[in-house]
Amino acid sequence: MGLELYLDLLSQPCRAVYIFAKRNGIPFELRPVDLRKGEHLSQGFVQVNPLKMVPVLKDGDFVLTESVAILLYLTRKYKVPDHWYPQDLQARARVDEYLAWQHTTLRRNCLRSLWHKVMLPVFLGEPVSPETLAATLADLEATLQLLEDKFLQDQAFIAGSHVSLADLVALTELMHPVGAGCPVFEGRPKLATWRQHVEAAVGEGLFREAHEIILKAKDSPPALPAVKQKLMPRVLAMIR
């Protein structure tokens, strides 16, 4: 059995892994896992990943979880261009720095913006309070400013003059609030230009393909009661 990837493109980490594998011609068997149906909580999936999360990489008998670990595994196993995870010590350190920072900052705030603005109203049938939504969007704005000032600065990409894993992870994160209708790039010409550079580097067609589901998130049907009961405790813990 070749490489298998368990993914749901509603998930930002899954989109990053999917785009990276496709862009670099890495052959894999797609194993879809529908998060909105609670398939990640099923007994069959728990046998693959007891953490009940996607993405998951399965390479023969070897199973790997966590998107950053998966991306790094793919860069090391396959002959991908050096710019994704540079050999240069300081350029690689810049990629590592962003990947270490994003989990509890940009990714968290992008995820919360999608759920507070779009997904929770779908699941619960009513909007979150205006105060909660305003606080969430304010946190997102502050994190976007940090992304520009600390990580992007005046460079074309986060690690310098070439696209890297840091840029791929960052832009797939930002598509969560874009899918929620947040004007992430409006009034931010530096960030908007960076987005164009990253999309061109990974391929605009592939980028659109991977993000089609998130850009239609607001059209998601309400969750079935049984699914809602299973999912909501995990969702609320994740976005607090």
Place of tokens 């530096």: 190
Domain boundaries defined on the chain: 3-83, 84-239
Environment class of residue 172 by beta-carbon count within 10 Å: exposed (0-12), middle (13-18) or buried (19+)? buried
Q: What is the CATH number of domain 84-239?
A: 1.20.1050.10
Whether the predicted pLDDT of 236 surpasses 70: no
pLDDT in tens, 71-83: 999 999 998 999 9
Query: What is the percent of the chain where pLDDT is above 90?
Result: 79
Helix/strand/coil for 32: strand
d(CA 198, CA 2): 29
Whether the predicted pLDDT of 84 surpasses 80: yes
d(CA 167, CA 50): 29
pLDDT in tens, 2-55: 999 999 999 999 999 999 999 999 999 999 999 888 899 899 999 999 999 999
**DSSP at 34:** -
Torsion of CA 5, 229, 109, 115, to 10 degrees: 100
Residue 6 sits at φ, ψ, to 5 deg, of -95, 115
CATH superfamily of 3-83: Glutaredoxin (3.40.30.10)
pLDDT (0 to 100) of residue 222: 63
